[in-house]
A and B are shown apart, each in its own frame.
Chain A
């Protein structure tokens, strides 16, 4: 099946640090990648959608200057949390899908971000 690799799986860093998370589709071309945020025991909240080679589309309430998304190729998207603060601590999950109306999304294993 389709595999999405997300790294790192866990990050612990000081307040003010910028953190980059990578999301790679290993065996298919991901025309669209998605970034989600999930709080404990809650559902996934979509942060942004990115299509290869174009700017990401952010959901309402998500600061694009805070959460920088780059989708430079059909297999790689990155999310950079700039100048992270404790309130940015969360579980971040990426997903990827190929072209087509009814294609499922394939998810990475998530990144647990803890800002001290």
Chain B
């Protein structure tokens, strides 16, 4: 399976703490993206990092990418109860037929308690 793995599977923290999620993948990539999913809803795009980039910031989000280790991390600083959701990494690759597609990781369920 090409599916990436995320670590930890579940994370429970207090408001104000930082949350770090890690993602490992297996194939070469064009980019790596992080998405958030609230229960029973679709996914919301958070941030995209290109394969030639090493770090990217967006608000309280910080993403790193290490292509030599085929891994990425998502850091959410000063977490809030509203950050409670599942977070997925997804690797952007080119299929054998030339299409751009995403392969999703297994996800991390984040619970932020007030």
Q: Write the residues of chain A forming the contact surface with B, with a CB cutoff of 8 angstroms.
A: 4, 6, 32, 34, 41-46, 49, 51, 57, 91, 93, 95, 97, 101-110, 112
Contacts and interface: CB of A to CB of B under 8 A. Distances in A.
Contacts of B106: 42-43
A110 B95 contact: no
Given A43-B104, A46-B102, A102 B48 contact: yes
B105 to A, nearest CB: 6
Interface stretch (B13-21, B38-46, B59-67, B74-82): B38-46
B101 A49 contact: yes
Contacts of A103: 100
A46 B91 CA distance: 13
Contacts of B3: 43
Interface residues of B, number: 27
Interface in B24-63: 30-31, 33, 35, 40-45, 48, 50
Given A43-B107, A49-B95, A102-B31, A109 B102 contact: no
A103 B45 CA distance: 11
B103 interface: yes
A51 B45 contact: no
